[in-house]
Chains A and B, each alone.
Chain A
Amino acid sequence: MSIDTNVGAEPRTHAGGPAHSSAESRQWTARVRHAAESAFPPDQLLPDRQPAYMASWIYVFGVLTVVSLAWVIITGCILAIMGPTWWHVSSTGHFVNSLHLWSVEAFFFFMVIHLWGKFFMAAWRGNRRLTWATGVISFLVSVAAAFTGYVSQTNFDSQWISTQAKDGINSTGAGAFWNVLNFGQMLMWHIVLLPIGIALIAGLHVLLVRRRGIVPPFEVAEHHTEPVADAAAAAGEPA
């Protein structure tokens, strides 16, 4: 990294500024910044216009899924801070525990409708294969996260579920490193590894939606000889 001798002066801006020096272009920070700016221009990352065909209720289920996930994470953090005794005994704990459960229910409810909608739109069209794939992986990881949550409740229900599930999971061979009767392991998967996985994959999914844009209906796509690969190009375009 080179030393900026421009001490005390105004910070150097790049957008619309002079061409980048060769020394700067060799820095990994500059290369990452330029790549990020190129892949996700601010007006594409947070657009204020969308294609006209997006004016349909079927397009709202993706963001409803994200909002539900935010509630799952917020209530999960509160449960982690307060602990099992609190969520088992106090009425406030019961309430937050129920919020956590019903946020998950809402998350899957909206995600499955989102999945159906995108499946019947063939949402992988127009170079959106990775968007579709990250959605599918996110769904599968979410199922694992929900399952580990059910076996981490620390009640008779969780004992029943884990003992019922163990034979099925052991028969796949996964039980060697994913033992549903190991409460500590299941809890760690539930509150550390799987949430990190979901946040990363769902975050990538949303970024890809921003980069590729939402998939147009079939009748709109037929009027384009080239796939709509750029959200900015499609924005504001009448259906």
Chain B
Amino acid sequence: MVLGVLLAALINLGGTGKYFHWGFIQISAANLVIIVLMIVVFVLAILLPFPKRKGDRQ
């Protein structure tokens, strides 16, 4: 039971999907969240320093 709660989705995925409309553009909230997340990860991948091992040449 506890494990089921822990593994369950953070939000209810069983209901009707939420959509955004801008003119002729229509996108689901889920897809918009994924796209924003991808952009965030992309920017972080460029900005965050990569860890170095001892002895690595510069």
Contacts and interface: CB of A to CB of B under 8 A. Distances in A.
Interface in A49-102: 52, 55-58, 60-61
A60 B44 CA distance: 13
Contacts, number: 35
Contact of B42 (A52, A55, A60, A113): A113
A117 B45 contact: yes
A58 B44 CA distance: 9
B50 A116 contact: no
Given A55-B50, A56-B45, A57-B45, A113 B38 contact: yes
Nearest to A113: B42
Nearest to B48: A57
B58 A117 contact: no
B54 interface: no
Q: Which of A60, A105, A112, A238 lies at the interface centre, i.e. has the most chain B CB atoms within 10 A of its CB?
A: A112
B45 A55 contact: no
Nearest to A116: B42
Given A52-B58, A238-B57, A238-B58, A57 B46 contact: yes
A61 B45 contact: yes
A113 B42 CA distance: 6
Main SS of the interface on chain B? helix
A63 to B, nearest CB: 13
A52 B58 CA distance: 7
B4 to A, nearest CB: 10
Contact of B57 (A52, A112, A113, A117): A52
A31 to B, nearest CB: 40
A143 to B, nearest CB: 14
A109 B34 contact: yes
A205 to B, nearest CB: 20
A204 B37 CA distance: 30
Contacts of A113: 38, 41-42, 45
A49 to B, nearest CB: 10
A113 B56 CA distance: 27
Interface string B2-45: 00000000000000000000000000000000100110011011
Interface of B: 34, 37-38, 41-42, 44-46, 48, 50, 52, 56-58
Given A52-B57, A56-B50, 11 more contacts: A55-B50, A55-B52, A58-B45, A109-B34, A109-B37, A112-B38, A113-B38, A113-B42, A116-B42, A117-B46, A238-B58
